[in-house]
Amino acid sequence: MSDAQRRIDDGAPGEQPSTGGADGSDSDSDSGNDEFEPVQVFPEAEEMDLRPGADNCYKCSTCDTNCPVAEVDDEFPGPKFQGPEQWRLKRQDDHDIDDSVMKCSNCMRCDSACPSSVPLSQMHNTARAEYVEENMSKFSREYLRNRLLANYRRLAPLASMFPRTANVVMGLSVTKWLGEKTLGITSEREFPEFATETFREWWTDRGGAKVENEDKRIAYFHGCYSNYNTSEVAKALVRVYEHFGYEVMVPEQSCSGTPMFANGMLEDARRAAETNVRELAAAIEDGAAVIASCSSCSMSIRQEYPELFDFEDTETVAANTWDAVEYLRVHEDLTGALEDTAVGDEFDELAYHAPCHSRNQGLDGQTIEVMDAIDGIDAQDVGDSCSGISGTYGWKAENYETSMKIGEEMFEHMDAAEAETGLTECPTCSMQMEHGTGYEIKHTLEVLEAALGGDRAESGAGSGSNADAGTTTATESN
Amino acid sequence: MAITDDVLVIGGGLAGATAALAAAETTEDARIRLVTYKQSTLRHASGLIDVLGYAPGTTDDQQQPIADPYTALESLPESHPYQRVGIDAVRDALAFFDEIAGDAYAGAHTDRNALVPTHGGTVKPTARYPVSTAEGLASDDRDTLLVGFETLPDFDAPLAAAHLEAAGAPFDARGVTLSFPGIGRDDAKVTRYAHLLDHDERVETPSVTGETGAREALAATVNPHLDEESRVGFPAILGDAHPAAVREALSDALGAAVFEVPMGPPSLPGLRLEDLLYDALESAGVRVTSGVPVVDYETVAADSTGENSTADETTTAAIDHVIVDRNGAQIPHEADQYVLATGGLVGKGVESNRERVTEGIFDCYVPHATDRYDWFVDDVFGEQPYARFGVVPDEELRPLGTDDNPEFSNLRAAGAVLGDYDYAAEKSGAGVSLATGYVAGTRAGEACQ
């Protein structure tokens, strides 16, 4: 609003600077002997140019102190090198991207660390994509493995057709041994189980939305994991939102792109993002807000899409995408609704880990605040360390040890906490938490569902009473 | 629904954290929230808590450090933030800090400044200092060995030792540069050194056969170089989570006192101070939201009869809520009282363009010359007007407008966003942040009771 917020020298390259200040309105009153006539020194960028970001770096190295990989791995040169320094090196002598960029776990902690708003993770994403494109053999085991991990969604539907068989096969030690020997996927981890019924199958069987409300609508971006693996999280979201009278839409969608960014598969990510932006923009047009239950999915749509792609409506979709709990806090009286509610023994004591991608959205304190409103829950934050798995990163044999070293602090804090149930919003953090401690891990939405009395008895298609309850709430709250 | 609290502190540095803690202490039941755009800039800070190191206005090279800062406070100009809050408030704020810091800090036993050697070999007059630096004070006459590392060029131990001696330190100082066991690369992060020592990781070392713990390996590397010195100073990388245990192990193995020399950014003593304050915030029940900027605000409508309206101050508007931006989504945050602690020109709470100098969120009045060539003087180390840019507060620390009336009835300012002092020249940054943060937080807490 005020002039105070306009930053004159923050313009992106290619932005045509106007004469006399950013808005030109108050410059005419100037004495005139001090006319500001900026000259465009650098040629206008034809493609994405990260120069302004690199120039903002004053090398304070705060990002380096936040990097969980640099803290445990002497070989990793840290985010400042991967971003601004590599950028300058390349411009000077046309160096190849350094292969250490593949050691970055894409936790994106450096972004909120930077006091100068250098878009570090954006620089890392583009550097990684260039490295994979220019320097990695498309026939190498590493490339094939990374492509496979990045495109987990392509394989998941096959496994989901025969979930029980897939779960048995994936759990066999011979499969794990093969995975490690042929693909470099660590044999230390248990593959995630596939749900016997995907969320989308459940949604179709159920007959879709139970509440219709053209004033309160959300488009649910469930992502891959809560569709194929933890469908109970997706179902919890539907029940919680229907409790508040929302009409839930489940648009067509592809992978959010997070694992693709992390593996430098930018073209795969672009294709996925194009579908998502198109479908989600259409839902927004229909009056819906986009809601995600996975912190990496919301991070990707809100930050990485506008940083990396320029499809029509990318910005609109980013600005209208919300974390599932945050949206309820801002648009409903969530604390009020949770007052005097209680949950079963299973949720009495919780050890909460804030995923890096929640932290980067300023949401790391939210879960504990919301849990505090529910009677009988003692949720304890287990500290600000990274879990160490960072999506597909900790699945790679060569990263396994680093991943577990990073996670050590979180494991220790979880062990020290009273709880034996873990709580988080990120699917891969939850894998790491379970792997390191043996605790059962829940999603915040599952706790909310239990507190708000979401009808857990609902099974299969159409239980009429639930629909009525939802509609009543909708009417009351309008 | 806005996210609603009683007191909202904007800014996560020393001033903001102190304000939030003071507000929490003032009011038992109030809900306090701290919003910070970026991570706390305390990681840039040395971790030293200065009150007043040099008298303002003396740019002479030969000027002496102030021995007793409290006596010197009385002669500061009326407009100085210390004078605005009063000297008793400065003492109260330091006592408040001592309580929070517990045994992590030393210096509370005296009013006088301590002289702490820094990584350039200069000494800094400071009121409180991390216990890790306590054995290194320049007023202590024990002979000193400073140890630097080849892979850590920010600390040149022989140079720092020579500088200390040249400055007239009452002891012999000697510096050696060694190789840090377990660190191979030239630009390993300071957190990497700290992590090795915290976890006592197994490392290869040439001076001992095979692998040993990092603490033992480091002591074994230093031992042959230790002559008659009874204390050894290291750059401030001696642990992050367990610094006391690291110092004790080294001290036992070396048979000498061990201390840290504060370094430039990124600084582990600064990181530890940040941890200390944020742990205190958590214990006090303060909610922290980080990674998102406050971008705008709305005032209570003039004709409002809501509880926020201020009937007795008809000319002064009240802030109804502020807007936090989250990747384009606008999140309203509402509170009864607000504290602005966004920092100065470095912290970006005060900004400038070619036309004017502004406070970025509420556009509070920041006095400055119309001609921007008057914002600075040619002598780099001279008295720079820009160093004093900031908002002008009343005694309650409410920013004043051009008409000398408070800009908003429920907004107070603390720390470097305040004008009329030059913390870099005076060495008063931490003290002003503590004193004004303490007062702004206390007043905000009282006002919402």
Whichever domain contains B228, its CATH number is 3.40.50
Nearest to B259 by CA among B164, B137, B122: B137
**In angstroms, rounded to a whole number, what is the distance separating the alpha carbons of residues B80 and B47?**
23
Q: A108 to chain B: nearest residue by CA?
A: B291
Please name the member of A66, A315, A332 whose beta carbon is closest to the beta carbon of B328. Answer: A315
Q: Are the CB atoms for A68 and A109 separated by under 8 Å?
A: yes
Beta bridge partners of B323: B296, B332
* Structural domain includes residue B112: no
Residues B406, B434, single domain; the answer is: yes
For Cα atoms B62, B65, B67, give the angle at the middle one, nearest 5 degrees. Answer: 140
User: Is residue B242 classed exposed, middle or buried when 0-12, 13-18 and 19+ CB atoms within 10 A define those classes?
Assistant: middle
Task: Kindly report the CATH number assigned to the domain that includes residue B392.
Answer: 3.50.50.60
Q: Is the ipTM of this complex over 0.90?
A: no
Interface of B with A in 91-150 (CB under 8 A): none
The distance of Cα B238 from the centroid of its chain, to the nearest Å, equals 20
| B2 in contact with A, Cβ within 8 Å | yes
Q: Is 50 exceeded by the pLDDT of residue A21?
A: no
Q: A26 to chain B: nearest residue by CA?
A: B355
Q: Is 70 exceeded by the pLDDT of residue A478?
A: no
List pLDDT tens digits, range A413-440: 999 998 989 999 999 999 999 999 999 9
Give the per-residue pLDDT at B76: 94
- Gyration radius of chain A over CA positions: 24
Q: How many CB atoms lie within 10 A of CB B403?
A: 9
Chain B residues inside the 8 Å CB shell of A364: 290-291
| B356 in contact with A, Cβ within 8 Å | yes
**In angstroms, rounded to a whole number, what is the distance separating the alpha carbons of residues B298 and B293?**
15
φ and ψ at A396, to 5 degrees? -85, 135
Helix %, strand %, coil % of chain A (to 5): 55, 5, 40
Residues B39, B147, single domain; the answer is: no
Report whether the peptide linkage leading into residue A355 is cis, meaning its omega lies within 30 degrees of zero: no
Residues B255, B276, single domain; the answer is: no
What are the CA-CA distances from residue B95 to residues A118, B84, B90, B99, B100 (Å)?
Answer: 38, 19, 9, 6, 9
| Chain B: closest CA distance from residue A203 (Å) | 28
Cβ distance A62 to B265 less than 8 Å, yes or no, reads yes
Residues B156, B197, single domain; the answer is: yes
Sign of the CA dihedral running A281, A283, A284, A289: negative
Q: Are the CB atoms for A329 and A366 separated by under 8 Å?
A: yes
Residues B40, B83, single domain; the answer is: yes
| A339 in contact with B, Cβ within 8 Å | no
| Chain A: closest CA distance from residue B73 (Å) | 32
The 3 state secondary structure assigned to B221-281 is HHHHHCCCCCEEEEECCCCCCCHHHHHHHHHHHHCCEEEEECCCCCCHHHHHHHHHHHHHH
Residue B177, token pair as written in the block: 């540069």
Chain A residues inside the 8 Å CB shell of B195: 71-72
Give the per-residue pLDDT at A221: 98
φ and ψ at A282, to 5 degrees? -65, -40
List pLDDT tens digits, range A266-285: 999 999 999 999 999 999 99
| B186 in contact with A, Cβ within 8 Å | no
* Structural domain includes residue B114: no
Chain A residues inside the 8 Å CB shell of B328: 302, 306, 315, 318-319
Q: What is the pTM of this model?
A: 0.87
Dihedral over alpha carbons A85, A89, A91, A93 (to 10 degrees): 180
Q: Which residues contact B121 (CB under 8 A, 6 or more apart)?
A: B159, B160, B161, B162, B163, B164, B167
User: How would you write the pLDDT of chain B (449 residues) with one tens digit per residue?
Assistant: 899 999 999 999 999 999 999 999 999 889 999 999 988 888 889 999 999 999 887 655 557 899 999 999 999 999 999 999 999 999 999 999 999 999 999 999 999 999 999 999 999 999 999 999 999 999 999 999 999 999 999 999 999 999 999 988 999 999 999 999 999 888 788 989 999 999 999 998 765 567 899 999 999 999 999 998 999 999 999 999 999 999 999 999 999 999 999 998 889 999 999 999 999 999 999 999 998 999 999 998 654 444 444 444 456 899 999 999 988 889 999 999 999 999 999 889 999 999 999 999 999 999 999 999 999 999 988 889 999 999 999 999 999 999 999 999 999 999 999 999 999 999 999 999 999 999 999 999 999 87
Q: A64 to chain B: nearest residue by CA?
A: B189
* Largest CA-CA distance found in chain B, in angstroms, rounded: 81
| A477 in contact with B, Cβ within 8 Å | no
Half-sphere exposure of B266 (CA within 13 A, CB side): 29
Strand order of the sheet with strand A321-323?
A247-249, A217-221, A288-292, A321-323
DSSP A176-231: HHHIIIII-B-SSSPPPPPPSS-HHHHHHHHTS-S---TTSEEEEE-TTHHHHT-H
Cβ distance A115 to B292 less than 8 Å, yes or no, reads no
Chain B residues inside the 8 Å CB shell of A4: 351, 358-363
Residue type, A383: G
Please name the member of A7, A71, A381 whose beta carbon is closest to the beta carbon of B191. Answer: A71
Of B241, B261, B281, the last residue of a domain is B261
The average confidence (pLDDT) of chain B is: 92
| B325 in contact with A, Cβ within 8 Å | no
B3, B191, B237, best to mutate vs chain A, most A CBs in 10 Å: B191
Give the per-residue pLDDT at A395: 87
Residues B39, B134, single domain; the answer is: no
* Structural domain includes residue B83: yes
CB pairs below 8 Å between A and B: how many?
148
Residue B253, token pair as written in the block: 């193995």
**Residue A47 — pLDDT band, cuts 50, 70, 90?**
low
Ramachandran class of A456: left when φ > 0, alpha when ψ lies in -120 to 50, beta otherwise? alpha
What are the CA-CA distances from residue B132 to residues A205, A410, B244 (Å)?
Answer: 64, 26, 8
3-state secondary structure of B64: coil
Nearest to A291 by CA among A385, A226, A343, A350: A226
Residue written as tokens 């304070």? Answer: A60
Q: Are the CB atoms for A66 and A110 separated by under 8 Å?
A: yes
Chain A residues inside the 8 Å CB shell of B183: 74
Cβ distance A330 to B290 less than 8 Å, yes or no, reads no
* Structural domain includes residue B232: yes
Q: Which residues contact A216 (CB under 8 A, 6 or more apart)?
A: A244, A245, A246, A247, A474, A477, A478
Cβ distance A36 to B290 less than 8 Å, yes or no, reads no
Give the per-residue pLDDT at A150: 86
Residues B218, B291, single domain; the answer is: no
Of B205, B238, B261, the last residue of a domain is B261
Q: B33 to chain A: nearest residue by CA?
A: A365
Q: A8 to chain B: nearest residue by CA?
A: B353
3-state secondary structure of A275: helix
Q: Are the CB atoms for B119 and B155 separated by under 8 Å?
A: yes
Residue type, A245: G
Q: At B123, which helix (H) or strand (E)?
A: strand B123-126
Give the per-residue pLDDT at B189: 87
Residue B360, token pair as written in the block: 């970025």
Residues B280, B243, single domain; the answer is: no
Residues B332, B388, single domain; the answer is: yes
| A26 in contact with B, Cβ within 8 Å | yes
**In angstroms, rounded to a whole number, what is the distance separating the alpha carbons of residues B344 and B428?**
14
List pLDDT tens digits, range A200-210: 999 999 999 99
Nearest to A64 by CA among A122, A124, A110: A110
Q: How many CB atoms lie within 10 A of CB B264?
A: 16
| Chain B: closest CA distance from residue A462 (Å) | 32
List pLDDT tens digits, range B67-107: 999 999 999 999 999 999 999 999 999 999 999 999 999 99
* Structural domain includes residue B109: no
**In angstroms, rounded to a whole number, what is the distance separating the alpha carbons of residues A70 and A72?**
6
**In angstroms, rounded to a whole number, what is the distance separating the alpha carbons of residues B339 and B414?**
7
**In angstroms, rounded to a whole number, what is the distance separating the alpha carbons of residues B216 and B203?**
10
Q: Which domain holds residue B397?
A: 3-102+270-448
| B358 in contact with A, Cβ within 8 Å | yes
Half-sphere exposure of A190 (CA within 13 A, CB side): 14
Residue A294, token pair as written in the block: 């996975």
* Structural domain includes residue B305: yes
Cβ distance B363 to A2 less than 8 Å, yes or no, reads yes
Q: Are the CB atoms for A277 and A284 separated by under 8 Å?
A: no
**In angstroms, rounded to a whole number, what is the distance separating the alpha carbons of residues A114 and A56?**
10
Give the per-residue pLDDT at A28: 43
Give the per-residue pLDDT at A470: 38
For Cα atoms A308, A310, A312, give the angle at the middle one, nearest 5 degrees. Answer: 145
Cβ distance A359 to B291 less than 8 Å, yes or no, reads yes
**In angstroms, rounded to a whole number, what is the distance separating the alpha carbons of residues A331 and B329?**
12
Of B222, B244, B261, the last residue of a domain is B261
3-state secondary structure of A460: coil
Q: Is 90 exceeded by the pLDDT of residue A41?
A: no
Residues B138, B14, single domain; the answer is: no
Please name the member of B1, B38, B183 whose beta carbon is closest to the beta carbon of A112. Answer: B38
Residues B124, B232, single domain; the answer is: yes
Residue B422, token pair as written in the block: 């030059």
Residues B248, B372, single domain; the answer is: no
* Structural domain includes residue B13: yes
Q: Are the CB atoms for A35 and A18 separated by under 8 Å?
A: no
* Structural domain includes residue B317: yes
Give the per-residue pLDDT at B139: 93
What are the CA-CA distances from residue B241 to residues A107, B203, B269, B411 (Å)?
Answer: 21, 19, 11, 36
Cβ distance A71 to B195 less than 8 Å, yes or no, reads yes
**In angstroms, rounded to a whole number, what is the distance separating the alpha carbons of residues A239 and A452?**
9
**In angstroms, rounded to a whole number, what is the distance separating the alpha carbons of residues A292 and A226?**
10
B326, B358, B372, best to mutate vs chain A, most A CBs in 10 Å: B326
Report whether the peptide linkage leading into residue B77 is cis, meaning its omega lies within 30 degrees of zero: no
**In angstroms, rounded to a whole number, what is the distance separating the alpha carbons of residues B344 and A347?**
45
Ramachandran class of B168: left when φ > 0, alpha when ψ lies in -120 to 50, beta otherwise? left
Q: Are the CB atoms for B343 and A10 separated by under 8 Å?
A: no
| Number of domains, chain B | 2
Residue A36, token pair as written in the block: 């500001």
Beta bridge partners of A218: A248, A289
Q: Are the CB atoms for B131 and B103 separated by under 8 Å?
A: yes
Q: Are the CB atoms for A208 and A215 separated by under 8 Å?
A: no
